[in-house]
Amino acid sequence: MNKKLGLQIKNNRLKKRMSLSKLATIAGISKSYLSSIENHETNPSAHMIQKIAKALEVPVEQLLSIQVGILDPEWVDLVVQARDLGLNKEDIRDFLAYESWKCSDKEGV
């Protein structure tokens, strides 16, 4: 179970002074399901995470604790160029995985 996700959801909910019931209603999910996510008893689908983020009015990245600001601008440019060339997400992921492996392999030598 992703404990960080449940904690992030709960922290964001409390920051906005929302009850569990209110957030569940806005997100269109049951209170018990939301509680089970916050208490690390279940992992929500990507779709559910999006619904919760929208209800909390926060970016999905914030719930997932992804620090968008630390992305290397050169990598972002590469991804944008690849997308503009028509590469699909899987091809881009494979390329990034390969490049990451090359970088880590060089550092290990």
| Average pLDDT of the chain, as a whole number | 82
Contact 57, 23 (CB under 8 A): no
Contact indicator for 13, 20 with CB cutoff of 8 Å: yes
pLDDT surpassing 70 at residue 25: yes
This prediction has a pTM of 0.59
The 10s digit of each residue's pLDDT in 67-96 is 555 556 777 777 778 778 888 878 877 777
d(CA 45, CA 37): 11
Identify the pLDDT of residue 43. 86
Q: Whole-angstrom Cα distance, residue 44 to residue 67? A: 20
pLDDT digits (tens, 9 = 90+) for 38-61: 998 988 888 899 999 999 999 888
72 against 25, higher pLDDT? 25
- Tell how far CA 51 is from the center of its chain: 12
Q: What angle do CA 14, 18, 19 make, to 5 degrees?
A: 100
- Quote the pLDDT of residue 35: 95
